[in-house]
Structure 1
Amino acid sequence: MSSEIQQQSPLVGLQAGEGRPLQHRAAGRVLLNEQPLVGLANLRLDPGSDAVRDALRAGLGLELPLAPNTVSRGRDAMALWLGPDEWLLRALPDGPVDLAARVESALAGHWFAVTDQTSGYSVVQLHGPGTRDVLNAGCPLDLHPGVLKRGQCAQSHFFKASVLLRPLDEQGDGWELIVRRSFADATVRLLMDAMQ
């Protein structure tokens, strides 16, 4: 008997086959893709500390965004602004899953708090000309690309599930949603219903 623990997507019940990430297309207008097991970490620190920001820049090649609802991209990860002293770090494709450990190493000796969130959230992306219509079925934000642009992010909800939204392109046809694991299945089912 093996005692090895394997992480599994909360969307495993919706996946097309063993080990294949969820992908759902509706009438050629919207494609939903699961981004399985993306490295995520919640980071809290004093943004006024030059030493902490320098250490993070040296260790991860990442400059924290200080303006509300903005995103910055570094060498291996991006940082999404959540509050004046809080960010969600998201690994880039093929980036490290162990973001929390990388931050701990980079910021050793400084005051900060980092928590691994990799298994606590699901990441899905939607692409296509009908994407904003799908999101607007359950999200109250104005998602027009003139209002919420690439390089920004916003915390909101899709129906009753809290989500972190990030536009992926300038036209507003590509979006990423980061949703708590416990709401992921229901949220994706609602997205799929809205795609019909």
Structure 2
Amino acid sequence: MMMALTPEFTPGQLVSGDVVSVSLMAPVARFSLRLRAADIPAVSTAIGVDLPTRIGACAHHETVEVMCLGPDEWQIQTDANDSVRLINACAAIYAQVPHSLTDISAREVTISIEGPGAVDLLSIGCPRDIDKIAIGTGCRTVFDGVSTVLWRDGETRFRLDIWRSFAPHVIGLIQTGCAELAAQ
């Protein structure tokens, strides 16, 4: 018998400073949605958010947030209390509008990075030009080779979704980067 140990992730402050603050965010309900372009209007109506069609574009309404990750792929985040409604809405139209809605809530954790050094901190592990990511958009990218989803919520405010199994590695790098930025 093999036992897998997974680290516990307790939401809260990881690093606090004048240059940058990093927090582990509370869990959210998270879904991967795949569907044909012709079915976007029906699913948008069902879930109550117009699915964006430009890669990297985001949309939100009340507790539901959506990012277009590819031509037929979206990531949906919502409050845990709203997940059943979202699942049921998609199930109700499935016979007429085939799609794939997969609950990936347990797969990822999210860290919040904010402050005047946020772009510099993200740049230590992310090959993207962070300054070119528009506020209110995001992208699928990598951080030190780890697949991530990066949301830009403000000029100096970001969220980084990380697969749970890679989170200790990425969080460790970010904490080291915070110490380096604070020492400058």
TM-score, normalised via structure 1 length: 0.80
Corresponding residue for 2:133? 148
Residue 111 to residue 183, structure 1, CA distance change in 2 (3 Å): same
Query: Counterpart in 1 of 2:160?
Result: 177
RMSD (CA atoms): 2.1
Moved more, 94-103 or 183-192: 94-103
Match for residue 113 of structure 2 among 119, 123, 126: 126
SS at match of 2:130: coil
Does residue 34 (structure 1) correspond to residue 20 (structure 2)? The answer is: no
3-state SS of paired residue (1:66): coil
Q: Where does 1:30-109 land on structure 2 (aligned, <5 Å)?
A: 30-47=20-37, 49=38, 52-91=39-78, 96-98=82-84, 101-109=87-95
- Contact between 1:55 and 1:106, CA under 8 Å: does it hold in 2? no
Output the amino acid matched with 1:184: A
Counterpart selection for 1:112 from 84, 89, 99: 99
Which has more helix, going by share of residues?
Answer: 2
In the TM superposition, what is the alpha-carbon distance from 1:94 to its structure 2 partner?
7.0
Q: Which amino acid aligns with 1:38?
A: V
Q: Percent identity?
A: 23
Q: Which runs of 5+ in 2 are unaligned?
A: 1-5, 180-184
CA distance in 2 between partners of 1:86 and 1:105 (Å):
18
1:71-128 CA distance string (max 9 Å, x none): 111233111111101100011x576244762453353322101100000111111111
Q: Helix, strand or coil: the match of 2:151?
A: strand
Matched, 1:138 2:125: yes
> Which ranges of structure 1 fall in alignment gaps of 5 or more residues?
1-8, 16-20
**1:136/1:99 Cα in 2 relative to 1: closer, same or farther (>3 Å)?**
farther
Query: Aligned partners of 1:177, 1:57: CA distance in 2, in Å?
Result: 25
Residue 188 (structure 1) aligns with: 171
